């Protein structure tokens, strides 16, 4: 259903590639502005996924109000549509209390869905998802991709056979509605109901970003990232095909614990996947309009952008 028309003030959005410093900048701005933070991170929504998602620590969560962190178990998938609905409700509530909302994170599908709207799609169906998963386990994801090509050629050209999450969703939607996902995406959608002041940290030095990615991942390993994934593996209902476990870092450690790869291969694969994620995030951001760019997490520069903006007043 389209959102009810409401008069909302502007919202600050802070994004950027992984390991670019957006979380620290968000915290500094929230302190200066008395704001509450809405996480736009597809891993932080899940309980038990703390180290690998770089969740704020307990002291930070007690100091500054955060939202959309630890709201689902990993076997209960959270979608871009869920984020949009929850985010709009949170912004409405935060502003009713006279506060500023800051949306911060690097899950571009969440931010794109918020900005541009989403076609109304059916909710996930566990039975159909289980059927598709059994089909993939028996015949392989390439076979599932061939089925998608028969029912929705347009989507099959966008979705790779190596992307089981999106592949499963496209077939699920068709089985539920009888309409190709590509056609549903062309439906008219509601734009974001509040103006956005969008900032992105895009480092000038890509090599420095890659070094930051490696440093952070190795710190996560020292902090117990492997043990965190092992604890997830021991929980009933958690398996390697869940969207949560497909998150960068988690899926590589999962493969290591399954005995599919050795430790050094796990580290190399996780670092390569994280660099690719940063590259995809950078590509997304280059196409965005009205984006205020920062080359580093400079609090004073960001505050000046806020002061000079008419969006948040």
pLDDT digits (tens, 9 = 90+) for 10-58: 999 999 999 999 999 999 999 999 999 999 999 999 999 999 999 999 9
One domain, residues 240 and 140: no
Q: Are residues 171 and 216 in the same domain?
A: no
Q: Are residues 111 and 222 in the same domain?
A: yes
How many domains in the chain?
Answer: 2
**DSSP structure string for 34-64:** T-EEEE--TTTTBTT--TTTTPPPHHHHHHS
Helical H runs in 186-310?
A: 206-222, 225-233, 250-257, 263-286, 299-308
Confidence of residue 188 (pLDDT cuts 50, 70, 90): low
pLDDT at 278 (0 to 100):
96
- Output the pLDDT for position 3: 41
Query: Span 240-252, mean pLDDT?
Result: 94
72, part of any domain: yes
CB atoms within 10 A of CB 62: 10
Task: Let me know whether 70 and 216 are in one domain.
Answer: yes
5 belongs to a structural domain: no
Compute the mean pLDDT over every residue in the chain, rounded to the nearest whole number: 93
> How far apart are alpha carbons 200 and 302 in whole angstroms?
10
User: 222 and 135: one domain?
Assistant: no
Same domain, 94 and 158: no
**224 phi/psi in degrees, rounded to 5:** 110, 25
What would the mean pLDDT of 200-216 be, rounded to a whole number? 96
286-290 long-range CB contacts below 8 Å, 24 or more apart? 288/198, 288/200, 290/198
Task: Quickly state the pLDDT bin for 218 (edges 50, 70, 90).
Answer: very high
Whether residues 79 and 54 fall in one domain: yes
> Where among 142, 164, 185 does a domain terminate?
185
CATH of the domain at 209: 3.40.50.300
Distance from C-alpha of 143 to C-alpha of 163, rounded to nearest angstrom: 13
Query: How far apart are the C-alpha atoms of 185 and 116, rounded to whole Å?
Result: 12
Beta bridge partners of 196: 11
pLDDT tens-digit map of 77-100 = 898 989 999 999 999 999 999 999
16 and 100 inside one domain: yes
Residues 198 and 169 in one domain: no
For residues 20 and 39, membership in a common domain is answered with yes
Q: Domain boundary at 185, 204, 225, which?
A: 185
Is 217 a domain residue?
Answer: yes
* Structural domain includes residue 282: yes
CATH, residue 131: 1.10.20.140
Q: 275 and 219 in one domain?
A: yes
Report whether 199 contacts 13 (CB < 8 A).
yes
Residue ranges making up the domain that contains 280: 11-118+189-308
| Residues paired with 121 in a beta bridge | none
Structure tokens at 274: 């994280």
**Helices in 140-260 by DSSP H: which ranges?**
141-151, 153-158, 164-177, 181-185, 206-222, 225-233, 250-257
Tell me if 56 is assigned to some domain.
Answer: yes
Question: Is residue 4 included in any domain, yes or no?
Answer: no
Q: How many CA atoms lie within 13 A of 292 on its CB side?
A: 18
Q: How far is CA 278 from CA 213, 216, 247, 270, in A?
A: 9, 14, 13, 12
Decide which of 134, 161, 185 is a domain's last residue. 185
Same domain? 63 vs 161: no
Residue 296 forms part of a structural domain: yes
CA 246 to chain CA mean position, Å: 12
Residue 178 lies in a domain: yes
């Amino acid at each position: 259903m389209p959102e009810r028309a409401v008069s909302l003030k502007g919202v600050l959005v802070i994004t950027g590639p992984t390991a670019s410093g957006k979380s620290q900048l968000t915290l500094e701005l929230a302190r200066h502005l008395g704001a509450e933070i809405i996480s736009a991170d597809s891993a932080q929504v899940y309980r038990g996924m703390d180290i690998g998602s770089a969740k704020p620590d307990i002291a930070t969560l007690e100091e500054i109000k955060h939202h959309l962190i630890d709201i689902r178990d990993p076997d209960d998938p959270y979608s871009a549509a869920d984020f949009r609905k929850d985010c709009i409700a949170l912004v409405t509530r935060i502003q009713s209390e006279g506060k500023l909302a800051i949306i911060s994170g690097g899950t571009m599908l969440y931010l794109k869905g918020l900005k541009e709207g989403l076609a109304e799609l059916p909710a996930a169906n566990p039975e159909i998802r289980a059927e598709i998963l059994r089909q993939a386990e028996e015949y392989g994801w390439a076979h599932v991709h061939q089925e998608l090509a028969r029912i929705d050629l347009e989507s099959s050209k966008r979705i790779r056979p190596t992307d089981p999450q999106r592949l499963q969703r496209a077939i699920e939607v068709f089985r539920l509605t009888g309409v190709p996902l590509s056609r549903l995406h062309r439906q008219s959608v509601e734009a974001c109901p509040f103006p956005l002041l969008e900032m992105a940290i895009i480092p000038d030095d890509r090599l420095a970003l890659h070094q930051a990615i490696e440093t952070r991942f190795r710190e996560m390993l020292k902090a117990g990232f492997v043990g965190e994934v092992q604890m997830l593996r021991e929980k009933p209902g958690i398996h390697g095909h869940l969207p949560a476990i497909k998150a960068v870092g988690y899926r590589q450690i999962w493969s290591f614990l399954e005995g599919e790869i050795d430790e050094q291969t796990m580290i190399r694969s996780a670092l390569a996947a994280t660099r690719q994620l940063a590259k995809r995030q950078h590509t997304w951001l280059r196409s965005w309009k009205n984006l205020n760019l920062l080359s580093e997490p400079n609090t004073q520069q960001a505050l000046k952008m806020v002061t000079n903006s008419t969006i948040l007043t």
